Amino acid sequence: MAGTVTFRETDASGNYHYSNALIWGENAEHALLRAIGAAHLIERLPRRAVAAEFHRPLKAGDRYEVDLTIERIGRSSISYRWRVLQAGDLMANGSATVVHVDHGGKSSPIPDDIRARVMQMIVSSGS
């Protein structure tokens, strides 16, 4: 997924605000879910854990790409790793674990059809 840093995404220093890297990672996750036909689950996959590291600044107008990989799928959770790159240089990286919940907000198994599609993504990425 590619994007351009907007002025709104910068802070007083003129660099992107750290929270945007997390948003870009989440946007890449949602794009992946839409691509595998699981967009209807986005609201049922809240964050369980997130982490990020910031390596280099980006300024308004800078182009970037987000590279997302599925690290692991559990009974009710999916763990992702993402990287924000500019011309191949690592700008930020992080991870997120989401948990599938039922309508009452309790952890529940990931549906079998979605699990199969996610597993195919893991296999096709060589993980």
Chain centroid to Cα 33, Å, comes to 10
For 40-74, letters b (16+ CB in 10 Å) and e give ebeebbeeeeeebeeeeebeeebebbbebbbeebe
Q: Is the pLDDT of residue 123 over 80?
A: no
Residue 42 in this model has a pLDDT that exceeds 90? yes
pLDDT for 126: 52
| pLDDT mean over 12-30 | 96
Q: What is the average pLDDT value for the chain, to the nearest integer? A: 94
Phi, psi of 91 (to 5 degrees): -100, -40
pTM equals 0.89
Query: 122 pLDDT band (50/70/90 cuts)?
Result: confident
Give dist(CA 54, CA 109) in Å, integer.
33
Whose CA is closest to 93, among 21, 38, 42, 27? 21
- Is residue 69 predicted with pLDDT exceeding 90? yes
Quick one: DSSP state of residue 64?
A: E
Whether 13 has a pLDDT exceeding 50, the answer reads yes
Return the pLDDT at 76.
97
Domains and CATH numbers, the chain: 2-124 (3.10.129.10)
Query: What distance in Å separates the CA atoms of residue 27 and residue 109, rounded to the nearest whole number?
Result: 23
Does residue 90 have a pLDDT over 70?
yes
- In DSSP terms, which residues pair with 60 in a beta bridge? none
Burial class (CB in 10 A: 0-12, 13-18, 19+), 81: middle
pLDDT at 40: 93
